[in-house]
């Protein structure tokens, strides 16, 4: 199956598999096996982050498959992300080294600034204020973080660098200063939240879009019973029946046909295998239009802990609703 997974080429000539395994919110104790199952199923792209607190399990899964001779390190594309408490330039290298140790790797294929807003430096990933609703901010500007990301590429311990959760204005600020432009902007993207203007801007600037939560993140911890469930949407279910595919397969295929890299998360072997079986069918023009019409600006991951931060990417969206 690995040979069936299409790749997207970055502006620097490097390429990334269009389908990857997401590892956010995966239950502890299940991640290593999920990674092993994904590699067995043909996945060669694994998406990680320090803040997920499971990179040591990802590393265990990768190491096992390399030891078995199923893959070589160079066959894999591994992504991780610089967390918000490490934006200060002198902390970037140490944060990466921690990730590499946890993943048991000597280099990353892609390293992203996870969010544009910086949090107070320290051991706490979410340094909460006394009210428990907001984090303490740091005054570091992500534009000052970027040159340190570039140095990681210079040394060879990172092959490509990029962004995550940056709005178009913030992407442009990075594009205005770099020696090395960002390879990708990883953003929430699904039929309830297309972010069409942002994705069009990124494509125009040669920045690949990576779509996270493509299935609507049904297992997100803060989901409410009254929230709409994307995979149960009548349009999605009808298209799944039309193509004799699952709702998840339709949603993943949708992102691929939009030209996006897509990283659905699962720890269930059957679903991991099923999620990769999306290169043998095509959504037609009418299917694509129906899914596009589902837009409801339904952002699922607002990072509300940092509302009020000058670099919060969605502050304008939530200005009228945030307390």
Please give the annotated binding residues for substrate, written as ranges: 114
262 - beta bridge partners?
19, 211
Pairs from 196-203 (Cβ < 8 Å, separation ≥ 24): 196/295, 197/168, 198/167, 198/168, 198/171, 199/258, 199/260, 201/168, 201/171, 202/168, 202/171, 203/259
User: Phi/psi of residue 288, each to 5°?
Assistant: -60, -40
Which strand (E) or helix (H) includes residue 262? strand 261-262
* C-alpha to C-alpha distance for 125 and 191, rounded to whole angstroms: 30
Contact 25, 57 (CB under 8 A): no
* C-alpha to C-alpha distance for 319 and 314, rounded to whole angstroms: 9
Contact 112, 142 (CB under 8 A): no
Biggest alpha carbon distance in the chain?
55
- Tell how strand 77-82 and strand 45-47 pair up: parallel
User: Phi/psi of residue 211, each to 5°?
Assistant: -95, 120
- Residue recorded with tokens 């996870």: 114
Strands (E) located in 70-218: 77-82, 110-113, 161-164, 184-188, 208-212
Q: What is the total residue count of the chain?
A: 323
DSSP 218: T
Return binding residues: 114
* C-alpha to C-alpha distance for 41 and 27, rounded to whole angstroms: 20
Q: Is 142 a catalytic residue?
A: no
Of the residues 52, 142, 192, 254, only one is catalytic, namely 52
Q: Which residues are catalytic?
A: 52
């Amino acid at each position: 199956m690995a040979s069936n997974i299409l790749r997207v080429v970055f502006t620097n000539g490097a390429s990334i598999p269009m389908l990857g395994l997401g590892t956010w919110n995966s239950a502890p104790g299940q991640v290593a096996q999920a990674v092993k199952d994904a590699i067995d199923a043909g996945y060669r792209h694994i998406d990680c982050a320090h803040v997920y607190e499971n990179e040591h399990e990802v590393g265990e899964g990768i190491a096992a498959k390399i030891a078995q001779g199923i893959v070589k390190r160079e066959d894999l594309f591994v992504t991780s992300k610089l967390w918000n408490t490490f934006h200060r330039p002198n902390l970037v290298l140490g944060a990466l080294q921690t990730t590499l140790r946890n993943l048991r790797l000597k280099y990353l294929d892609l390293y992203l600034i996870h969010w544009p807003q910086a949090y107070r430096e320290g051991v706490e990933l979410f340094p909460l204020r006394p009210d428990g609703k907001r984090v303490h901010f740091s005054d570091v500007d992500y534009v000052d973080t970027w040159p340190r990301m570039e140095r990681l590429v210079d040394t060879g311990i990172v092959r490509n660098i990029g962004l995550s959760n940056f709005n178009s204005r913030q992407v442009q600020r990075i594009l205005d200063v770099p020696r090395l432009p960002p390879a990708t902007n990883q953003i929430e993207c699904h039929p309830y939240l297309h972010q069409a203007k942002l994705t069009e801007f990124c494509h125009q600037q040669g920045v690949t879009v990576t779509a996270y939560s493509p299935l609507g993140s049904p297992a997100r911890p803060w989901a409410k019973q009254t929230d709409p469930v994307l995979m149960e949407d009548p349009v999605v279910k009808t298209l799944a029946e039309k193509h004799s595919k699952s709702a998840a397969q339709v949603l993943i295929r949708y992102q691929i046909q939009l030209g996006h890299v897509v990283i659905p998360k699962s720890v269930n072997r059957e679903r991991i295998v099923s999620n990769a079986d999306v290169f043998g069918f095509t959504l037609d023009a009418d299917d694509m239009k129906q899914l596009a019409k589902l837009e409801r600006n339904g952002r699922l991951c607002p990072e509300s802990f940092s509302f009020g931060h000058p670099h919060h990417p969605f502050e304008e969206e939530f200005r009228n609703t945030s307390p």
